[in-house]
């Protein structure tokens, strides 16, 4: 039972990550793979990739039926983690992922409604390079962990409008994470509480159009978060799990930027979000079919963070996946389908135009491969 349930625990963690990233609320995308610290080996390395295809469309724009295709662009989230156990009670992991991001391309209806400065496309990427260490010690039948580390995150924002192109970059900002956990491997029991700090953006760049290049600056914040994960074996080959995550999306009220120069394009600008805090709740069950094959299924609810400046509504996600022994390592695959509930935005709430959206769907598939010794 112990071998099966331990392998099942790893599969559950991977599929949970896919489901969360499929639509984790706000601008959330990937989560650093610090779970590799719990792998029972001296050395472990895991790489993975997630593809998400959201299908968010407008039902109406400016009070009239919309004809634009989906404005939300598909995206890929990479993940890499490497763990080394320095001693029986101390391990460290190096991680890479893209924690936040957004990408939208707008059709004629949306561009027309926004007016002379209507956005053709807008989005940003961020990369996180981190190092997290864990000190573990015996407590009762299990092990208690203290976790902590730092990460460096960048930010790259681009908006293309009818008037020109704005690009803002913050090359590196330092953040930290810290947490605690308790595990009893015999029963695949684990409870972990992890905190990730807020990132404040101080970006520079330029607004450009043919014959014009104006220096620009921008400031904003990406949120802190706290997540509780709990799992436990409940019968031979069976495991249940759940998580609750709070994300401080209310910190993102505006993205403020300034375009230098004495032209009609210059001056202080504000992109309004006015978001409220987000909550993500997940519950699932897993089963080990053999020593080499296990699977899981889960359901996730993400509370919408929008208040009317844009359309960011509740999302329900069903995820499933499995783990298989392949070659020298372990292959994990998973998929998820999300239902994005209907919503609307209004100029009275700082939106640039009125629009509504019916319920839409989002799809995600992902895979990772682990080698350890």
pLDDT for 116 equals 81
Total structural domains in the chain? 1
Which pLDDT value is given to residue 10?
Answer: 56
**pLDDT averaged over 10-residue windows placed end to end, the chain, 373 residues:** 55 57 77 94 96 94 95 95 97 97 96 90 96 97 97 97 95 97 93 97 96 95 96 92 96 94 88 95 93 92 95 94 92 94 96 95 94 94
Contact 189, 160 (CB under 8 A): no
Other beta carbons less than 10 A from residue 173's beta carbon: 18
Q: Which residues on neighbouring strands pair with residue 277, listed in sequence order?
A: none
- pLDDT score of 9: 63
Residue pointed to by tokens 């724009």? 61
Kindly report the pTM of this predicted structure: 0.93
Look at residues 77, 261, 99 and name the one whose alpha carbon lies nearest to residue 166: 261
Phi, psi of 175 (to 5 degrees): -130, 180
- Which residues span the domain enclosing 360? 2-372
Give every CB contact of residue 141 below 8 A, 6+ residues apart in sequence.
Answer: 184, 186
CATH number at residue 217: 2.40.160.60
Pairwise CA distance, residues 154 & 158, whole Å: 14
Report the pLDDT value the prediction gives residue 23, as an integer from 0 to 100.
58
What pLDDT was estimated at residue 1?
A: 45
Contacts of 88 (CB under 8 A, 6+ apart): none
Cα separation, 346 vs 354, in Å, equals 4
Contacts of 2 (CB under 8 A, 6+ apart): 185, 186
Which stretches of 55-141 are assigned E, i.e. beta strand? 60-61, 64-65, 75-87, 90-97, 101-105, 119-125, 128-139
- Taking CA atoms, 10 is separated from 32, 139, 207, 288, in Å, by 15, 22, 46, 11
- The token duo for 320 is 């499933």
3-state SS assignment for residue 12: helix
Q: Are strands 60-61 and 64-65 parallel, antiparallel or unpaired?
A: antiparallel
């Amino acid at each position: 039972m112990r071998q099966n349930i331990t392998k099942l625990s790893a599969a559950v963690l991977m599929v949970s990550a896919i489901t969360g990233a499929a639509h984790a609320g706000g601008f959330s995308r990937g989560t650093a793979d610090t779970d590799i610290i719990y792998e029972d080996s001296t050395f472990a390395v895991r790489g993975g990739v997630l593809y998400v295809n959201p299908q968010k469309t407008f039902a109406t724009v400016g009070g009239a039926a919309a004809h634009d295709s989906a404005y939300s662009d598909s995206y890929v989230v990479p993940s890499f983690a490497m763990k080394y156990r320095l001693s029986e009670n101390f391990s460290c992991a190096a991680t890479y992922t893209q924690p936040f991001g957004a990408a939208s391309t707008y059709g004629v209806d949306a561009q027309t409604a926004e007016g002379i400065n209507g956005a053709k496309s807008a989005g940003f990427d961020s990369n996180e390079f981190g190092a997290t260490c864990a000190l573990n010690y015996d407590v009762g039948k299990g092990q208690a962990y203290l976790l902590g580390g730092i990460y460096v995150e960048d930010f790259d924002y681009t908006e293309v409008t009818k008037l020109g192109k704005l690009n803002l970059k913050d090359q590196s900002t330092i953040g930290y994470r810290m947490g605690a956990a308790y595990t009893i491997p015999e029963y695949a029991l684990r409870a972990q509480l992890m905190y990730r700090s807020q990132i404040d953006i101080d970006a520079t760049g330029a607004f450009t159009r043919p014959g014009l290049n104006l220096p620009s600056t921008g400031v904003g914040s990406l949120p802190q978060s706290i997540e509780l994960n709990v799992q436990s074996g409940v019968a031979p080959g069976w495991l249940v799990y759940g998580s609750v995550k709070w994300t401080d999306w209310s910190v993102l009220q505006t993205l403020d930027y300034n375009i230098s120069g004495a032209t009609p394009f210059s001056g202080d600008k504000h992109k309004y979000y006015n978001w409220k805090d987000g909550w993500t709740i997940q519950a699932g069950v897993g089963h080990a079919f053999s020593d080499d094959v296990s699977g899981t299924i889960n359901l996730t609810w993400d509370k919408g963070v929008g208040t009317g400046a844009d359309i960011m509504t509740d999302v329900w996600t069903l995820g499933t996946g499995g783990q298989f022994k392949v070659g020298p390592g372990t292959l994990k695959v998973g998929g998820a389908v999300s239902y994005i509930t209907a919503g609307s935005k209004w100029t009275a709430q700082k939106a640039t135009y009125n629009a509504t959206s019916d319920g839409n769907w989002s799809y995600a598939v992902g895979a990772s491969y682990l080698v350890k010794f």
